[in-house]
Amino acid sequence: MYDLIVLGGGPAGYNAAERAAHAGMKTLLFEGKALGGVCLNEGCVPTKTLLYSAKIYDYTKHGEAYGVTCTGSSIDHAFVVGRKDKVVGTLVSGVSGRLKKAGVEVVPAFGTITGRGSDGFAVTANGREYKASKLLICTGSYAFVPPVPGLRESIESGFAMTNREILDMRTLPRSLVVIGGGVIGLEMASYFNSVGVKVTVVEMLDHIAGPTDGEISKILLRSYQKKGVEFILGANVTAVGNGTVTFEKDGKTESVPADKVLVSIGRRANTAGIGLESIGVEVERGAVVTDEYCQTSVPGVYAAGDVNGKSMLAHTAYREGEAALANMLGGHERVNYLSIPSVIYTNPEVACVGETSESVKAKGLDAVSTSVTLKYSGRYIAENEGGDGIVKLVVDKTHKTLLGVHMIGSYASEIIYGAAMMVEKQMRTDDVKKLVFPHPTVCEVIREAMFMI
């Protein structure tokens, strides 16, 4: 009998399991694939490894503006993928070591919930039954493959890929068509464009980067068009196969040739086949329903991470897992989704937290916003010839409380946590003005922007 059974060893599950064991709970974790989940094995970490190699390669190609000439540089894609495997291996064994040290028991199998008795919830794997008084569901998500004619067959033949297969592709295609200009599509477009592949992004909406602030989305689009990425916006893909992607745009059917295709049009929660129905956990549109305390419809059963379909970010998963654990232990912790930052690791980077100009309008909030060029930063100018990055603030009109901060430009991914704290703590512009930021840095433009709104 365990105090807690965790289903899924991704960021939500492994982190919560480790912390639960530290809190004294007898904890069992089921992971049927690889510890670390999508984030470590086929998502965040592998992508960042590839993008870092691309960044170094970009420096060698574009050093002239900084007085650096580098001739004969090249990138070895197979080596980059090999290094990615090494980085992933290091981190996965790190997770395994941490769980072991904490005393978490790990079962390397998919667990299925089979019911609830007076002695707790039952989970089975490989013909054996395990019981616990609390359950934490962290089964993650999978890449959505829409029912587009030819797409499934194309994935089977290797012509089309999801985020998983593309990270293991060892030879570079001449051209790549990316279906979906969201986070995965843009990060992959960034890498393959940098390493010399002809990239075309086909996106259904009239803009890229989904709910990202409109002004920032436009700057990113412009920057990628300048680098040679082609964007076909407002296009709905209707067929994939025979070396082409066919789409409808403005009532016309057109097609674009491709060596390879990446499908990145969103993810869906993994809720099928884990036995949720055996204990009556409510599922809506394929995702486990949770409240802001990460509690499901069944007392004693919590869910964290992509499986609840709320924010699908690894750092949200960590926080949800921790909140769920605190609440199992009698706490009353909520997850504040509004102050969770998000990052797109393109070059330039995009990082955002809180409300956008568009979202405040939609919610009818009385807010004002201002965009400030990153050229207010000496460091930005020194390091970014021709850079057009910005910081944008969204502020409550009456109280001058910070509602959102959005950035495009260097270091944005590392800076945004500070802005997230300001939003979380509902700081006012006058509060931030009184803080001292280091100089010369790019982040000091956030402070400067407080004087302009």
The least CB distance from residue 130 to ligand NAI, in Å, is 31
Question: Could you tell me which residues come within 8 angstroms of residue 156 by beta carbon, excluding any fewer than 6 positions away?
Answer: none
Instruction: Give the residue, chosen from 266, 275, 286, 418, that forms a contact with ligand NAI under the rule CB under 6 A.
Output: 266
Print the SS3 string covering 97-154. HHHHHHCCEEECCCCEEEEEECCEEEEEECCEEEEEEEEEECCCEEECCCCCCCHHHH
What's the alpha-carbon Rg for the chain, to the nearest Å?
A: 23
Site string for ligand NAI, 328-357 (x = CB under 6 A): --------------xxxx------------
Question: Could you tell me which residues come within 8 angstroms of residue 26 by beta carbon, excluding any fewer than 6 positions away?
Answer: 1, 2, 3, 4
Q: Give how far the C-alpha of residue 144 lies from the chain's centroid of Cα atoms, to the nearest Å.
A: 15
Instruction: Give the residue, chosen from 9, 10, 111, 185, that forms a contact with ligand NAI under the rule CB under 6 A.
Output: 185
Q: How far apart are the C-alpha atoms of 2 and 306, rounded to whole Å?
A: 24
Site string for ligand NAI, 380-419 (x = CB under 6 A): ----------------------------------------
Q: Which 120-159 positions form the footprint of ligand NAI (CB under 6 A)?
A: 146
Residue type (1 letter), 226: K
Q: For ligand NAI, which stretch binds (CB under 6 A), given 150-158, 198-206, 351-359, 387-395?
A: 198-206
Q: Give how far the C-alpha of residue 340 lies from the chain's centroid of Cα atoms, to the nearest Å.
A: 12
Q: Does 261 bind ligand NAI (CB under 6 A)?
A: no
Task: Give, for 244, the enclosing helix (H) or strand (E).
Answer: strand 244-249
Two tokens, residue 33: 């694939």
Bridge partners, residue 116, by sequence: 121
Instruction: Give the residue, chosen from 84, 260, 267, 406, that forms a contact with ligand NAI under the rule CB under 6 A.
Output: 267
Instruction: Give the residue, chosen from 202, 301, 394, 432, that forms a contact with ligand NAI under the rule CB under 6 A.
Output: 202
The least CB distance from residue 451 to ligand NAI, in Å, is 31
Site string for ligand NAI, 44-83 (x = CB under 6 A): x---------------------------------------
| SS3 category, 394 | strand
The least CB distance from residue 258 to ligand NAI, in Å, is 14
The dihedral of CA 325, 328, 332, 335: what is its sign?
positive
Q: Which 8-47 positions form the footprint of ligand NAI (CB under 6 A)?
A: 43-44
Q: Does 183 bind ligand NAI (CB under 6 A)?
A: yes
Q: How far apart are the C-alpha atoms of 430 and 442, rounded to whole Å?
A: 20
Instruction: Give the residue, chosen from 180, 309, 404, 409, that forms a contact with ligand NAI under the rule CB under 6 A.
Output: 180
Instruction: Give the residue, chosen from 13, 181, 321, 341, that forms a contact with ligand NAI under the rule CB under 6 A.
Output: 181
Query: Which positions lie near ligand NAI, rule CB under 6 A?
Result: 43-44, 146, 179-185, 187, 202-205, 210, 236-237, 264-267, 312-313, 342-345
